[in-house]
Structure 1
């Protein structure tokens, strides 16, 4: 853990003003893709004096170790993401409040999450849409509370039966992004509630052990159902699928008649 902690401290010392280095961070870790909406996050930060007072921003940026200050290395997609972010940082004088760097691998990323959780930081995913959302669950497992997009799978993983395990926001509304972040950064009790709740949620429902247990329950339920005890009428297997030869070939029309008529 210590080498990663040292790396994070060095990058914060490089990018964050000395008077602000004690603050927690708003952490985002995703590929540099416009759909991940990192620009919306930075705009929300720029438009919220409260967020700027309470925290800095840290972007984990893949293989780019100084992404905001090394534009010559950008790939085309990365330029689409980073150029407007740099413009917002410049126009709103956010230098000294934002850091962007890379970590070498997944264990180092997990260690980064744990280190920043100790500083009462917040993980955020402001993607326009996220089908499942693994990164927020990984961050939650490390002790970080989560503010995430309401569009996609996180509406299921971060809430159930009226209970919320993360703060869901509208990623196309910068004011709502700021609201969600302020909810956790401005209230210690809220931070504790969501940090503990999300971590327990992941440990209970999203480990490999929990996944295997749920699969086993589903299989046992299927085997024990009344339908499973009834002998099924099997469809015939055409000779072509047992011995694919020209003489056993079958047309699409014949297949359709065999299986769908």
Structure 2
């Protein structure tokens, strides 16, 4: 089976969870014997290479005078489409086209009709969910492309029940068109990472327990709520035994740093910036608790990674992480207010036995349920079922149907 994936990001250039998802999914699909190719954008990497059995092709978007994001997206879609058609002529067309989010929708939809190949779309998040509504012309365009790709796709894949409800409501999709396939993590990378002697001292003093956050520094991740909660613990509860370590980068960085200085927490909060996976997993292994107070989170790969490293986690009582974490077993589910977040952190700080029990439970759950091998096998099954359905249809172009009539 030949499958062609389209993703605007792919290693080594990764901005968020989408690129990590596509990398691991395609890697494990290739391990299962599928012929997998990915067309993505380039930030200076080589134009063609094979990574973990996956053929990767990169297009380099033009440098445009316009700073408009939509223009840039359409630009690289045109280049992706050109590359895909060229590959189809040289190597034969794929059996399945798989796009990820709206950013590669134009390419996927066009190829579907040009090649008569079924399209599958994974919706990792929606513009309405990310922004709390549609407020600008650019957002209207993004929302329209999201609707179009879900309409054109044979199946729409989402990562959680939360996202099933969202895409069904936002895009008016029938339930039978939507398939839930959860995210997963790469246990091999986590198990081979080792903090080493003295690693913790890079981030905290020996007596300090690390409260950890990882994610993009954007509004929807809710890091401002965690800083408020941390302020309660340090300045109101007078705790000196904790350190907040923030791994990640994003447009809210300067604002969040200003919050830290406003509360006088500059010696108790550490911004790491973007760090590689080995450093991240090592940091998770020396931390005490992971807090992920996202206002909007379709799933949350970082939550899975933290749990696999043995971290009890504090997550919202809604959204994707809410479906992963059992309250009081692997962590806590909370309302998103700083006081409750602070209360649950303090409960874990003051009860080592509870914390250690949650640590064991978290590791066990991830190893049993959220591995990429399981997810890839399920995805491959979806591909096969779609091809079986397609084989029973007489697929004609719209103009062919009109000609017959």
**Length-normalised TM-score, structure 2:** 0.44
Distance change in 2, residues 1:142/1:38 (3 Å): same
Q: What SS does structure 1 have at the residue aligned with 2:239?
A: helix
Do the aligned residues in 1 keep the contact of 2:225 with 2:338 (CA within 8 Å)? yes
Whole-angstrom CA distance in 2 between matches of 1:35 and 1:181: 21
Whole-angstrom CA distance in 2 between matches of 1:50 and 1:93: 14
Do the aligned residues in 1 keep the contact of 2:226 with 2:341 (CA within 8 Å)? yes
Do the aligned residues in 1 keep the contact of 2:195 with 2:282 (CA within 8 Å)? no
Do the aligned residues in 2 keep the contact of 1:51 with 1:178 (CA within 8 Å)? no
Report the counterpart of residue 226 of structure 1 in structure 2.
Answer: none
Structure 2: give runs of 5+ residues left out of the alignment: 1-192
Tell me if 1:57 matches 2:224: no
Q: What SS does structure 1 have at the residue aligned with 2:258?
A: helix
Whole-angstrom CA distance in 2 between matches of 1:58 and 1:96: 11
Whole-angstrom CA distance in 2 between matches of 1:122 and 1:26: 5
Whole-angstrom CA distance in 2 between matches of 1:199 and 1:38: 25
Whole-angstrom CA distance in 2 between matches of 1:163 and 1:181: 13
Distance change in 2, residues 1:195/1:42 (3 Å): same
Report the counterpart of residue 333 of structure 2 in structure 1.
Answer: 168
Report the counterpart of residue 190 of structure 2 in structure 1.
Answer: none
Which residue, 307, 317, 320 being the options, matches 1:153? 320
Q: What SS does structure 2 have at the residue aligned with 1:132?
A: coil
Report the counterpart of residue 201 of structure 2 in structure 1.
Answer: 9
How many matched pairs?
Answer: 203
How far 1:138 sits from its partner (Å)? 0.5
Q: Determine which structure has the larger strand proportion and give its number.
A: 2
Deviations 1:210-233 (A, max 9, x none): 4467x39x98xx9xxxxxxxxx9x
Q: What SS does structure 2 have at the residue aligned with 1:131?
A: coil
**Length-normalised TM-score, structure 1:** 0.66
Report the counterpart of residue 198 of structure 1 in structure 2.
Answer: 362
Whole-angstrom CA distance in 2 between matches of 1:126 and 1:110: 20
Q: What SS does structure 2 have at the residue aligned with 1:26?
A: strand
Deviations 1:167-214 (A, max 9, x none): 11122x11111122112111111101111111111111111244467x
Tell me if 1:30 matches 2:197: no
Tell me if 1:250 matches 2:402: yes
Bigger Cα Rg: 1
Structure 1: give runs of 5+ residues left out of the alignment: 63-76, 223-231, 255-261
Q: What SS does structure 2 have at the residue aligned with 1:250?
A: helix
How far 1:103 sits from its partner (Å)? 5.3
How far 1:108 sits from its partner (Å)? 2.2
Whole-angstrom CA distance in 2 between matches of 1:51 and 1:170: 23
Whole-angstrom CA distance in 2 between matches of 1:178 and 1:52: 11
